[in-house]
Structure 1
Amino acid sequence: MATSNSNHPLKDDLDIVIPTIRNLDFLEMWRPFFQPYHLIIVQDGDPSRSIKVPDGFDYELYNRNDINKILGPEASCISFKDSACRCFGYMVSKKKYIFTIDDDCFVAKDPTGKDINALAQHIKNLLNPSTPYFFNTLYDPFSDGADFVRGYPFSLREGIPTAVSHGLWLNIPDYDAPTQLVKPREKNTRYVDAVMTIPKGTLFPMCGMNLAFDRKLIGPAMYFGLMGDGQPIGRYDDMWAGWCVKEYKGIFWQEEIIPFFQATSLPKECTTVQSCYVELARMVKDKLGKIDPYFVKLGDAMVTWIEAWDELNPKESKKINGK
């Protein structure tokens, strides 16, 4: 199929990362939007199981054996039997941008019945600035038909580079277990056509099922933690990369962990994403290790993750202080 970069922006600068345990038949629905892009598929679970990918897609496929071979002892930082294995795809990618999606996500429709190209919306977000220091009452000032409103400081209108574009979803709400128990039949049917910047210093619940980010800007910080097989908890992997707690122990831990993040500040000597993340790992072990030994193990895994990232990406060392 012949395509052009004008019809598919960032075609050569974006990888789509998909964690999976099954055949990827869901890609047929996404074919009009995904086929021009390169896919990195991270197979979870039994590596001897054959995963089928529909014809016509450009992809590379990694299973646990591949991860162990490539990373050696450092493969211990990649979760097993959990969708957090997707972050291996972030590590081996060499593109500037990443879009990641779960293998049970389907194309939504807008109120007119038209298919929504979620990837195109993410790309638009990533290529436009964010405005975290002052809220614009027309939401995204860079969207069609909008601008900065009266009273918005001119000195802040240039904005800053967008690091993360967080997508939403229809149908199944992303509730934690207790909320699901009391609302087992609830569906999300509210279509929201708006883009907003999360203010500086504000935490939010990030979900990895429909997410895009600037890998060159913050890639080393997008580590989804240790989850799944051999770990005391699962399904709050994306929390560690954004802050999202979904299951039993995390519901109790979050009451102490969120204040930790709110109070965290990094020394000025940390000028790269890697150095910031290693310092954060030290603080996790020191402060959160008192809550549960798991956080000591997680802190060590965070350091291992950075070591493995730097080994596979030796030329990447993004400074975070531009001044």
Structure 2
Amino acid sequence: MFPEVDPGEVDVVVVALEPDLTAFIDEWQPFISRFRVLIIQDPNLGAHKSLRVPPGLNHKIYTAADARGLLGNAAFAVSHVGYLVSDKRIVVILDSSCRPHRSSGSGDPVAQHLTNLLTPATPSYFNTLYDPYRSGVDFVRGYPFSLRGGVHCVLSSGLSEGQFVDAVITVPAGAMMVVPAVNIACDRRALGPALLPPFHVEAPLAEIWAGLCGKLVADHLGLGVKSGLPYVARSCTDIGPSSAVVSAAEAERAALEFFRTARLPRTAVVAADCVRLLAELVRERLGGVHPGFSLLADAMLAWLDFWNAVELSR
């Protein structure tokens, strides 16, 4: 059983990688028809190509021109245009290469994301076996009673490749993780601008930077992140931009050590402040290691400026 959620609190963002979305919508209609769907045109389609969307779907289209109007020449992935403009509490992000995974135990991928977000996470005490809040299961013997209430889960990161495992786990506090650009869901009001877009900049670890930052912020705020179900099948497997730079091993090691040891001040109690302070730390501690890290810090602050401008305009 999935927990009930008000459809008016959810947006589903779909990045259109091809002009005809008929086949995609036909497969996803049972899972997304309750919600508003924000369709973002991939700039690679070209401005002259209009999108074909079958009737009967509550949707809004953002063309490549709309995205440029919002972001200008900023080096952000278009998948986050929908996340940026959404005014809903929960945002689910897909692209048109995603298909429901036929062997997935959840059946409904969107409902599984919502379940992950609406049930607590347990980042303080790692349970390697299963999600203790799943119907019909309980905590393992010996799990501390004081931690069984869990914390608010703000990010659900589904999977798409590899062997299917019918499980959801909380990623432990302090652990680093990679977050894909699609098949994710987020509590937008809680994690906010800390769900960074993939940045198209030439820097070490640029393709996984968003996940490293988002997880660090979630840990700092005492919030939870889950991974596992739902699975989707994908015809397009690159989940983020690839840096054109061959990253120096020393720079990568320095960045990973930074994320392992970085601590934000206790005065940072909202996600926007965390992103700003984290960008400053990146520039201060990593800017001298590789110039690409300063570019990433600039991109983080630019994203935060866009976020604040959109929020203030509401």
Question: What TM-score comes out, normalization by structure 2 length?
Answer: 0.80
Distance in 2 of aligned mates of 1:38 and 1:292: 42
Partner Cα separation in structure 2 for residue 150 and residue 8 of structure 1: 29
2:202 corresponding residue in structure 1: 232
Aligned partner of 2:272 in structure 1 is: 274
Residues in 2 aligned to 1:166 and 1:137: alpha-carbon distance in whole angstroms: 17
Residues 234, 28 of structure 1: CA spacing in aligned structure 2 closer, same or farther, 3 A cutoff? farther
1:18 pairs with one of 14, 19, 22 = 14
Alignment of 1:170-209 (within 5 A): 173=161, 188=162, 190-209=163-182
Alignment match, 1:107: 100
- Tell me which residue corresponds to 2:122: 131
Q: Secondary structure at the match of 1:12?
A: helix
Residues 251 and 194 of structure 1: is their aligned pair in 2 closer, same or farther, counting only changes over 3 Å?
farther
Q: 2:33 aligns with which of 17, 32, 35?
A: 35
Which residues of 2 match residues 74-89 of structure 1 at below 5 A?
Answer: 75-79=72-76, 84-89=77-82
1:241 aligns with 2:232: no
Distance 1:234 1:105 in 2: 28
Q: Contact between 1:233 and 1:247, CA under 8 Å: does it hold in 2?
A: no
For 1:219, the aligned partner's letter is G
1:7 shift after superposition: 9.6
Q: Which residue of 1 aligns with 2:226?
A: none
Alignment match, 2:302: 304
Q: Quick one: distance in 2 between partners of 1:235 and 1:274? A: 22
Is the strand fraction higher in 1 or 2? 2
**Structure 1 pair 206–199 and aligned structure 2 pair: CA distance change class (3 A):** same
Deviations 1:222-276 (A, max 9, x none): 112421xxx4379954x22213988463584533321111111111222211111
**8 Å Cα contact 1:108/1:115 also seen in 2:** no
What CA RMSD, in Å, does the superposition of the two structures yield over aligned residues? 2.8
Instruction: Pick which of 97-106 and 56-65 moved more.
Output: 56-65
Match of 2:132 in 1: 141
Counterpart CA distance in 2 for 1:275 and 1:315 is 19
| Equivalent of residue 222 in structure 1, options 166, 170, 195 | 195
**Aligned equivalents of 1:115, 1:145: Cα separation in 2:** 14
Task: Return the letter of the residue paired with 1:135.
Answer: F
Are residues 246 and 50 of structure 1, via their aligned partners in 2, closer, same or farther at CA, if it must alter by over 3 Å?
Answer: closer
**Cα deviation, residue 21, structure 1:** 3.0
1:304 deviation in Å?
Answer: 1.7
Question: Where do 5+ consecutive residues of structure 1 fail to align?
Answer: 1-5, 174-187, 317-323
Structure 1 contact 8–36 (Cα < 8 Å) conserved: no
AA aligned to 2:14 is I
Kindly tell me the number of residue pairs found equivalent between the two proteins: 280
Identify unmatched segments of 5+ residues in structure 2: 213-238
Structure 1 residues 115 and 270, CA, compared in 2 at 3 Å: closer, same or farther? closer
Q: Alignment identity in percent? A: 33
- Worse-matched range after superposition: 114-123 or 258-267: 114-123
CA contact (8 A) 1:14 1:95 kept: yes
Judged with a 3 Å threshold, the aligned counterparts in structure 2 of structure 1 residues 141 and 251 are, in CA distance, closer, same or farther, namely farther
CA contact 1:166–1:211 (8 Å) conserved in 2:
yes
Q: For 1:77, give the aligned amino acid.
A: A
Whether 2:121 is the aligned partner of 1:155: answer no
The answer as to 2:75 corresponding to 1:68 is no
| 3-state SS, counterpart of residue 167 of structure 1 | strand
Q: Which amino acid aligns with 2:86?
A: S
- Given that 1:165 and 1:212 are in contact with CA atoms closer than 8 Å, whether structure 2 keeps it comes out as yes
Return the alpha-carbon distance in structure 1 between the equivalents of residues 204 and 62 of structure 2. Answer: 21
Residue 131 of structure 2 aligns to a residue whose secondary structure is coil
